[in-house]
Amino acid sequence: KNGIACELNLVEGSMTVKTTRKTRDPFVIIKARDLLKLLARSIPFNQAVKILQDDVYCDIIKIGGLVRNKERFVKRRQRLLGPDGATLKALELLTNCYILVQGNTVSAMGSHKGLKQVRLVVLDCMKNIHPIYHIKTLMIKRELAKDPALANEDWSRFLPKFKKKNLSKRRKPLVVHEKKAYTPFPPAPVPSKVDLQQASGEYFLNESQREEQRKEEKKRAAKIKSEEKKKAREAEFVPPTEE
């Protein structure tokens, strides 16, 4: 029908498509190449052959290297499918595309607009953004498109705004200590009790002289304390200032 010849090499395990003398559309060879790509990704032949139509295009989204952790990758891929494939089915209905998640790739067939939306949803899902947010936005856009009065207006006021939640469990310290300026020299050594006694001259006194010095210090401290108490008692008898 399209004038395309196909050759299957079982020795090499390869399949080749080429034009013939009956080929009318030169672009059909690109479509035939896409058909082989889709068949290689386990898409049923009845569905894959629709790529030869003029208004149908395909997109192979590679998701294998987007997430390093294998367990996390499997969970996010399952999130794209949803329970019993419900999320994928909703995405197909909203974008008018055929989507198949197989291994490390997501194959999609449909219009250019739909394929662009599918790619955005798939890549954001691998970045830990749930597909339900995009599905909600697409549903609102679909309803807004039905109203001709809103055709030339900005739709951003109707679309939901989802806030990013910081799920970090790291606790901040109550007291943040400032870092001191770096110096290559070590800190000065703390003087010992003997060093302090030598500095004050107490080290060179005998026991009787030390005892006498302690008594003098006690008398001095007691005299200062008694003077403070005397001042506090006298303060009660000071007459207030007249205005």
Using one digit for the tens of pLDDT, what is the confidence trace for 209-231?
A: 888 888 999 999 999 999 999 98
**What is the average per-residue pLDDT within 91-106?**
89
The C-alpha angle 90, 91, 96, rounded to 5 degrees, equals 105
pLDDT at 240 over 80: no
Name the β-bridge partners of 57: 110
Task: Tell me which residue of 128, 32, 149 sits closest to 75, measured CA to CA.
Answer: 128
pLDDT at 225: 93
Task: Tell me which residue of 35, 41, 14, 38 sits closest to 103, measured CA to CA.
Answer: 41
pTM (two decimals): 0.61
CA distance 147 to 142: 10
pLDDT at 168 over 90: no
Burial classification of residue 169, based on how many CB atoms lie within 10 Å of its CB (0-12 exposed, 13-18 middle, 19 or more buried)? exposed
Query: What mean pLDDT, rounded, does the chain reach?
Result: 84
pLDDT at 149 over 80: no
Task: Tell me which residue of 111, 112, 93, 92 sits closest to 101, measured CA to CA.
Answer: 92
What are the start-end ranges of the H helices in the chain? 28-40, 45-48, 70-81, 86-95, 112-126, 131-145, 193-200, 207-235
Using one digit for the tens of pLDDT, what is the confidence trace for 191-211?
A: 888 888 888 877 777 778 888
**What is the average per-residue pLDDT within 162-167?**
65
Name the β-bridge partners of 6: 17
pLDDT at 157 over 90: no
**What is the average per-residue pLDDT within 103-120?**
90
pLDDT at 155: 67
Name the β-bridge partners of 39: none
**What is the average per-residue pLDDT within 87-115?**
89
Q: How many helices (H) and strands (E) does the chain have?
A: 8, 5
For residue 164, what pLDDT band results from cuts at 50, 70 and 90? low
Using one digit for the tens of pLDDT, what is the confidence trace for 24-70?
A: 888 888 888 888 888 888 888 888 888 888 888 888 989 888 888 88
